[in-house]
Amino acid sequence: MAKISVESLSTNLVIDQEQENQFQTLIHQLIKMLPAAVAMFDIDMRYLAVSDQWYTETKVSKRKDIIGQLHYDVIQDIPLKWKILHQRCLKGEHLKCDEDVFCCRDGHKEWLKWEIAPWYINNKIGGMFMFIEHLTDRKNTENKMKEMIGELKRCNSALKRFAHICAHDMREPIRTIYSYIELIEEKVEKKGETLEYTKYIKASAIYLNNLIKDLLFDAEMDGASLNFKHLSLEEIITNIMTVLYKEIEEKKIVVSYDKLPVIYGDEVLLNQLIQNLISNSIKYNKTKNPVIHIRARELKNAWIISLEDNGIGIEPQYFKTIFEPFERLHNKSEYEGSGLGLSQCKKIIESHKGKIWVRSELTKGATFYFMIPKEQ
């Protein structure tokens, strides 16, 4: 679509009286057909020609013949500041504004985009062209969206505070329950129904404690400012292997990695990211010779890190859903966990302007990839 500019209409014409009459007829027809709100005025601000769209934008009835009438009589709410701008234009200035407010007599405000430019005839200013576009509907929509976004942010903040307080206050009674269960186990016989029941209660307490820990991490991460610095990925993995030593030894998992780079990000969050991914690979591996291998591939502005395992694998239809909160592909009795580990990974990597994805086949292992920018 061609851009309509009133400046392009402001050509100086040197013509005689007969040509002037022909010119006025031509310009009237041209302006009338323009797909924008354009009007042509003489030096006294009387209408010479208007487009059909002008009536729509100014809300002037098409049945009203405004040609020859004074602009300020047709639209009576025009403030003094605009009349001053009109006079400046009639002295030769080309003026425009992409967003201006129009205060009506009834008190409501309308937003406009406008442009005015003089037109010339026989080297003298004959009047001016004016273009307007109503922005009121768009501004009202923008303001409503801002209000809704503000309300959503307030609700979200309140929800996070509520989750944080609840999770924090729940940890103490759960620790108490766990402690008393251990005391009961010491007192009861090594076999029997009571001991069996305590095992179920203990498992539930552990699950609740892990869930609360993950919820607290989520709540704290949303409100935290990130502390970016350069980090050795090899050091991160070495530290995590120390933390997960018991789980790795129990399953006799071989964790290996190629030469890994220094990456840029928040140390606490990236440690959590890698630990979640390694823990996930440990948990879902039932093979006789379980392995986890970590690689890095360099791009121009980012690193792609991959963690490959030979575990149970994932069906392709779940490649996206596994990164959603509380999404589980297996029941809790088969595989422990809060259902928040991979969703945390997604949130962490997105906070670093990166992305995470998985490739896998059922029973043939899985490879988790994440891309992280070299520098923020």
Check whether residue 67 and residue 210 sit in a common domain.
no
From 49, 51, 48, 47, select the one nearest 34 (Cα to Cα).
Answer: 51
Sign of CA pseudo-dihedral 67, 68, 74, 76 = positive
Domain assignment present for residue 237? The answer is yes
The overall pTM is greater than 0.85: no
From 306, 161, 372, 345, select the one nearest 337 (Cα to Cα).
Answer: 345
Check whether residue 169 and residue 230 sit in a common domain.
no
Check whether residue 50 and residue 158 sit in a common domain.
no
Answer left, alpha or beta for residue 315, where phi above 0 means left and psi between -120 and 50 means alpha: beta
Long-range contacts of 100-105 (CB under 8 A, 24+ apart): 102/77, 103/77, 103/79, 104/77, 105/76, 105/77
Check whether residue 219 and residue 253 sit in a common domain.
no
Domain assignment present for residue 215? The answer is yes
Three-state SS letters, 302-336: EEEEEEEECCCCCCHHHCCHHHCCCCCCCCCCCCC
From 208, 218, 205, 170, select the one nearest 342 (Cα to Cα).
Answer: 218
Check whether residue 253 and residue 304 sit in a common domain.
yes
Terminal alpha carbon distance of the chain:
39
Distances in Å between the alpha carbon of 322 and those of 206, 219, 315? 22, 20, 10
Domain assignment present for residue 1? The answer is no
Check whether residue 87 and residue 162 sit in a common domain.
no
Phi, psi of 273 (to 5 degrees): -60, -55
Check whether residue 290 and residue 212 sit in a common domain.
no
Distances in Å between the alpha carbon of 80 and those of 98, 118, 134, 297? 19, 19, 20, 65
Answer left, alpha or beta for residue 45, where phi above 0 means left and psi between -120 and 50 means alpha: left
Query: What is the secondary structure of 236-273 as a DSSP string?
Result: HHHHHHHHTHHHHHHHT-EEEE----EEEEEHHHHHHH
Check whether residue 290 and residue 219 sit in a common domain.
no
> Contact, 222 vs 160, CB < 8 A?
yes
CATH code for the domain in which residue 345 is found: 3.30.565.10
Domain assignment present for residue 194? The answer is yes
Domain assignment present for residue 350? The answer is yes
CATH code for the domain in which residue 199 is found: 1.10.287
Check whether residue 274 and residue 369 sit in a common domain.
yes
Burial annotation 62-84 (CB, 10 A radius, 16+ → b, else e): eeeebeeeebeebeeeeeeebee
Distances in Å between the alpha carbon of 63 and those of 34, 60, 67, 256? 19, 9, 12, 83
Instruction: Classify residue 113 as exposed, middle or buried by CB count within 10 Å of its CB (0-12, 13-18, 19+).
Output: middle
91, 107, 134 - which closes a domain: 134
From 238, 240, 231, 236, select the one nearest 264 (Cα to Cα).
Answer: 231
224, 257, 277 - which closes a domain: 224
| Count of structural domains within the chain | 3
Domain assignment present for residue 255? The answer is yes
Degrees, nearest 5: CA angle 95-101-103: 120
CATH code for the domain in which residue 80 is found: 3.30.450.20
78, 101, 134 - which closes a domain: 134
Instruction: List the chain pLDDT tens, one digit each, 376 residues.
Output: 444 444 555 555 455 556 666 667 777 788 888 888 999 999 999 999 999 889 888 888 877 789 999 999 998 888 888 899 999 999 999 999 998 887 766 667 888 899 999 998 878 899 999 999 988 888 888 889 998 988 888 877 776 776 666 666 666 777 777 777 777 777 776 666 677 777 777 777 766 776 777 666 766 666 567 788 999 999 999 989 988 888 899 889 999 999 999 999 999 889 989 999 998 899 888 888 999 999 999 999 999 999 999 988 888 888 888 888 766 665 554 556 556 788 889 999 998 999 999 998 888 889 999 999 997 5
Cα distance between residue 103 and residue 110, in whole Å: 6
Check whether residue 32 and residue 178 sit in a common domain.
no
Check whether residue 213 and residue 273 sit in a common domain.
no
CB atoms within 10 A of CB 115: 20
> Contact, 349 vs 273, CB < 8 A?
yes
Domain assignment present for residue 259? The answer is yes
From 153, 276, 282, select the one nearest 222 (Cα to Cα).
Answer: 153
Check whether residue 11 and residue 78 sit in a common domain.
yes
Domain assignment present for residue 268? The answer is yes
Q: Which domain holds residue 105?
A: 6-134
